Amino acid sequence: TIRNQIVESRIKADKEKIVYLQSYADPLHWLEENVSEPTVILSDDEFSAYIPIRTKHYVLFSPSGVLQMVSDHELETRYLISRFLGGGPSLEDINNDLKFYGGAGKALLGSKMQEHFALMYDRYQNEIKPNIKSYLSDFKVGYAVVSISDSTGRQQMEKLGAEEVYKDASFIIYIL
Contact between 86 and 167 under an 8 Å Cβ cutoff? The reply is no
pTM: 0.85
**Would you state the pLDDT for residue 7?**
47
Residue 22: what pLDDT? 85
Using the predicted structure, report yes or no on whether residue 107 has a pLDDT greater than 70: no
Average pLDDT over residues 100-128: 81
**pLDDT(65) > 60:** yes
Confidence check: pLDDT of 21 > 60: yes
Spell 73-87 as b/e; 16+ CB within 10 A means b.
eebbbbbbbbbbbee
Sheet holding 58-59, edge to edge: 58-59, 40-42, 141-147, 171-175, 163-167
For residue 143, what is the DSSP state? E
Among the listed residues 23, 25, 22, 82, the one whose alpha carbon sits nearest the alpha carbon of residue 54? 25
Q: Which whole number is the average pLDDT over 101-127?
A: 80
State mean pLDDT over 142-159: 96
More confident residue, 14 or 77: 77
Q: Calculate the alpha carbon distances from 170 to 39, 59, 113, 132 in Å.
A: 22, 20, 38, 25
- Are 80 and 120 in contact by the 8 Å Cβ rule? The answer is yes
Q: What is the mean pLDDT of residues 46-59?
A: 93
Rounded to the nearest integer, the mean pLDDT of the chain is 87
Mean pLDDT of 46-61: 93
User: Which position has the higher pLDDT, 15 or 82?
Assistant: 82
Q: What is the DSSP letter of 59?
A: E
Per-residue b or e along 111-123, where b marks 16 or more CB atoms closer than 10 Å to that residue's CB: eeeeebbeebbeb
